[in-house]
Amino acid sequence: MLTLANLQNSAGQSASGFCTTSQDFFDLVNQVIPRLLQRGDWPGSVVTIRVQVWNGCVTWFRYVSQVRSIHSCRGSIPVRSVWYEFLSYNGPRHIHGWESWRGRERNLLNQYQSSTYNDMYGPNCYVRLYVDLPQDVGTTCTVFGTDNNNQILQTMNADGSNSVGQTFTVQLQAGPGGHAYWGATSTPVSRIDRIVVGATQGMKRLYSYDATQHALFDLAVYEPSETNPSYVRQQLDGENRSIWGSPNCNQSVMALVKLKFIPAQVPTDGLIFLEGAQGAILHGMRAIKREQAEDTNGAKASWAMAVEELNRQLEDFQPSDQLAVKNNVFAGRTFSNRMF
């Protein structure tokens, strides 16, 4: 995978106009990569992964932006947008796959963005945040959602005012197993809508804590740089969600996913693209600089050159009979793989 360090050379400085160790250079790279990812599924940006679907739902991990295709042991499963459920139709669209006798079609339906992998585990559960390192004691976390009475979570501030969301701080806690570093909400939480958490040096782990059973249930694991986590959550419909009458089960599926770019912060951070895409990123830098100078025609030309570079890499990377098909014309040029 291409890293930020691969761009920190004389060509990167010339294209950007910034010192390659400056924050301005980092910010420019972090603007270019998402713009290029919107223009095609380039080598390195689409990968195959295998995940577990629990009771028909899956929350994709941080690096998944879009699900291109998915299949289970029984074959391919169509991927639908949120609008699919609102299409006008009479009766089932297509009857096939599991539970066809019920008139249910196999689909992967987009639902919404979620800040946790799992939901709260029943009533009277608190939210706890654990950190791995003592240096991260003092990290704050704000939980947006509702309490057991379906009231919006709030925090009373020092001046007597209230703010939406319940905020707590990670502290050093003593226990029978030794010291731990965690903080918790002061009231039980019934639903989580959003999480805002401070940046840390180590990993952060969110749990649902059942005080009656004195048990922790996994909600999410956050990387150090995650401060406003948001993940794609989808529903797998029309699949068999039970095994011999069991109400809950998990199943393995394979998916082709488009990766989401996480802003680079240090030279060793990956940029999703493969080695050889440096030229395209340099053209992207020039395009953004020309946009800032209101040189529209020059910016369009630079973006076209960036896309052409990536098309050449895509042609070299994939078999000729498996090239993606999108649009066959961009900026007066026709590309054999039709990316745009």
Per-residue model confidence as pLDDT tens digits over 193-215? 999 999 999 999 999 999 888 89
- Checking if the pLDDT of 43 tops 80, the result is yes
Q: Each residue of 130-176: pLDDT tens digit?
A: 999 999 999 999 999 999 999 999 988 888 888 999 999 999 987 66
CB-based contacts of 313: which residues, under 8 Å, 6+ apart? 42, 43, 274, 276, 277, 280
Query: In what helix (H) or strand (E) does residue 210 lie, and over which residues does it extend?
Result: strand 204-210
pTM of the model: 0.77
Among 184, 174, 228, smallest CA distance to 209 is for: 184
Query: In what helix (H) or strand (E) does residue 215 lie, and over which residues does it extend?
Result: strand 215-222
Among 113, 128, 130, smallest CA distance to 200 is for: 130
Q: What is the pLDDT of residue 332?
A: 40
Contact 217/208 with Cβ under 8 angstroms?
yes
- Checking if the pLDDT of 98 tops 50, the result is no
Q: Mean pLDDT for the chain?
A: 84
Is the backbone of residue 257 left (phi > 0), alpha (psi -120 to 50) or beta? beta
